[in-house]
Amino acid sequence: MSELPIPNHASLPDDVLFSVRGLKKYFPIQAGWLKKHVGDVKAIDDVSLDIKKGETLGLVGESGSGKSTVARLMLRAYDLTDGQILFRRSNNEIVDLSKLTDREMRPLRAEMQMIFQDPYSSLNPRMTLLELVGEPMVIHGVGNAGEIKDRVAELLKVVGLRPEFINRYPHAFSGGQRQRIGIARALALNPSFIAADEAVSALDVSVAAQNINLLQDLQEQFGLTYLFITHDLGMVEHIADRVGVMYLGRLMEVAPTELLFSKPLHPYTEALMAAVPQPDPRGNRTRKRVPLKGEIANAANPPSGCSFHPRCPYAQAKCSAEVPALRTVAGGRQVRCHFAEELSLVGAVA
Amino acid sequence: MTEQTLAAEPINAKKEDLYSAKPWQLIWRRFSKHILAVISLWFLLILAFCAIFAEFVAPYEPFKVERLRTMAPPTGIHLFHEGQFVGPFVYAMERTRDPETTRVSYEPDTSEPLPIRLFVASSDYSFFGLFKTDIHLFGVEGGRRDQINLMGTDDLGRDVFSRLIHGARVSLSAGLVGVAFAFVLGLTLGSISGYFGGWIDGAIQRLMELIRSIPTIPLWMGLAAALPVVWDPLIVYVLITFILALIGWTYLARVVRGQFLALRNEDYVLAARLSGASEYRIITKHMLPSMTSYIIAALTLAVPEMILGETALSFLGLGLRPPVVSWGVLLQDAQNLRSISLAPWLLAPGGAVVLTVLAFNFLGDGLRDAADPYGQ
Ligand SMILES: Nc1ncnc2c1ncn2[C@@H]1O[C@H](COP(=O)(O)OP(=O)(O)O)[C@@H](O)[C@H]1O
Ligand code: SF4
Ligand SMILES: [Mg+2]
């Protein structure tokens, strides 16, 4: 099922921080008076990927393709339906998170954090910055009140907010500033891994750029590893070292960023890139829209064979009959298409 | 880039106040903009004071029969006696009987003013069992027949105002106790429903719909009629409030459940969980604090329903019965055509019910609007 060999507990390549194998998440569909189980939304179906220490792995795909669910499963916000999630702790111990109960997960949460999309709903409006940013320390019993206060002030400085604001409530801040508060909270316990789920999608372009720069500075400063989720290909090209392309709960392609943009191997990747506005020769940006035809399919009832086949311009008979596997092809890239080698696709960098 | 943000605007003390205002301060700020709600709050506070200290506020005992002062209209309050300002006073009433119709009528005896005094000595009462006293908030000094009846008297000569104040104690507390029962039921079932979801939620939802689909008056009547007449009035009172609560909890449960469902999906709850917070911490630190203002608003809005329920039941003779004095009981007393045409002041408890119900509704609306000071 999974293309990567499943390691036993102690073995994960030295440079790998997170390794996800054969991940599945089905959300039950309930109907009727007593919430009878009538089917499943296959939000994640067989996702395997490695994240290396210190890298930024981008995850792209249309809305509903399962990006957020992958991040939430990795951080064990949800129980998984199937699969393995191997994580390298800071002491180099390797743990399979999929086996842990909520309670057993708690001490590990210090090492992995999340930054959210919505800068409004992700901060409790009834808590001051001190309470918000200090909460992880309170929970993990790190330091006394004075130490927590000092640390929060320091964290605020780190993310570019004035420490004098420590007694303010979030409603005093703009969206971009709130996002920084969320970043400070995520940094509170010195995590090694941060999942940023559409972390700047809700912000204005210039504010988003500032916050992206901040994230990059922090990565350098603290040696962080990022899972960077976005539907904005331009953003991912700027920040990611490698990119995974998701469609309907499956990874369609994984490749180093430059290679992916210069030579996509999957028709879905090509279609996503074609929809991105290209800078035109005269320098002003125009939108050359070659939209994807059709809509993302229903995850409760995915198409047979290759789940992309109803929208794929290169689809052939085999595509609706056989599910393509995520294969490793020349150059160590991975792709889930029967005809990856035969097709010659156009990337974003012409 | 970091420097640029750090060097931002100088701190402005007034703004800082707003930025670090506690949630309840923001809620109060918002609430105080609702004039009607603030007025209602004051009205209810005064009413509550009167109800709690009914013996002190009421000038007369609620059961004191005055054979020679039956069906007296509200006493007029005057300020000028023979063209001279003497402060608030009343005139004694001369009782006459029309020999033909035998109808009683009252004429003011304008020879001498009876000044209204504060803290006058009149009938004895025990102050919450602590000590005995005879001081009342206001009254007139003079003979037994020199009375001030702000809302007239009934057919036994009892002071309607005094009875109304004593009735407020029973009616308001029935509303509050009923809401307290409903609160326990609604909070328990609503949070079970919202927290566990699934078939438990489905079952509780169906039960709530069933209860809400039953017409309330016949249901109340059925339940209340099952209470034996001979029972102690206190037990009847508790049971009546419980019956009201059995129906009233569904509204509260719906609010609580809705809040639970909405908050479960807030990112900040997920953030807390991903920081390792226990369920207990999430519920007490993150969910309950944002729910309390909504719950208080919902509770406030549930009180009038209870008061109306008590009034309706007692009015129909199925709820509280004399000698207990409640607004419903008083209205039942006034329940004949003769009193409506001859002594319309006997309907004053009806006015009290209307005002109180309106006040609770305005207050609840104001609280509900202020409950989330962060929303737009
Ligand atoms: N809690 C949930 N319950 C049921 N279905 C869900 C839930 N969360 C996500 N889904 C479904 O899973 C699929 C993937 O969602 P998501 O991971 O949010 O996608 P993305 O982040 O790429 O937009 C969607 O079809 C969505 O409807
Ligand atoms: S497998 Fe077939 S349908 Fe799927 S992407 Fe490749 S060519 Fe298109
Ligand atoms: Mg998402």
Q: Which atom of ligand 2 lies nearest, measured to the CA of A340?
A: 6
Report the complex ipTM: 0.89
Report pLDDT for B10.
61
pLDDT digits (tens, 9 = 90+) for B269-299: 999 999 999 888 998 889 888 888 888 888 8
What percent of chain A shows pLDDT beyond 90?
Answer: 60
Which residues of chain B lie closer than 8 angstroms to A30, CB-CB?
A: 198
Within chain B, which residues score under 70 in pLDDT?
1-11, 143-145, 336-339, 375-376
Give pLDDT, residue A16: 92
Distance CA(A174)–CA(A171), nearest Å, equals: 8
CA torsion through residues B323, B324, B328, B330, sign: positive
B20/A30 CB distance under 8 A:
no
- What's this model's pTM, rounded to 2 decimal places? 0.80
Helix (H, G, I), strand (E, B) or coil at B159: strand
**Which residues in chain A are closer than 8 Å to B278, comparing Cβ atoms?**
106
How far apart are the CA of A35 and the nearest CA of chain B, in angstroms? 5
Q: What is the pLDDT of residue B337?
A: 57
Residue nearest to atom 3 of ligand 2 (CA): A309
Per-residue pLDDT band at A3 (split at 50, 70, 90): very low
Cβ atoms B315, B242 nearer than 8 A:
no
pLDDT of residue A306: 93
Question: Is A7's pLDDT higher than 80?
Answer: no
Q: What stretches of B152-232 show up as alpha helix (H) in DSSP?
A: 160-196, 198-213, 216-225
B87 φ, ψ (degrees, to nearest 5): 80, 175
Give the Å distance between the CA of A58 and the centre of ligand 2.
22
Mean of the pLDDT values across residues A75-90? Answer: 92
A69 alpha carbon – ligand 1 mean position (Å): 6
Partners of A37 in the β-ladder: A30
Residue scoring higher pLDDT (B107 or A292): B107
- Residue B7, pLDDT score: 47
pLDDT at B9: 57
Q: Which of A3-7, A41-45, A305-309, B134-138 has the lowest mean pLDDT?
A: A3-7
Residue A295 has pLDDT above 80, yes or no: no
A19, with CB counted inside 10 A (0-12, 13-18, 19+), is buried
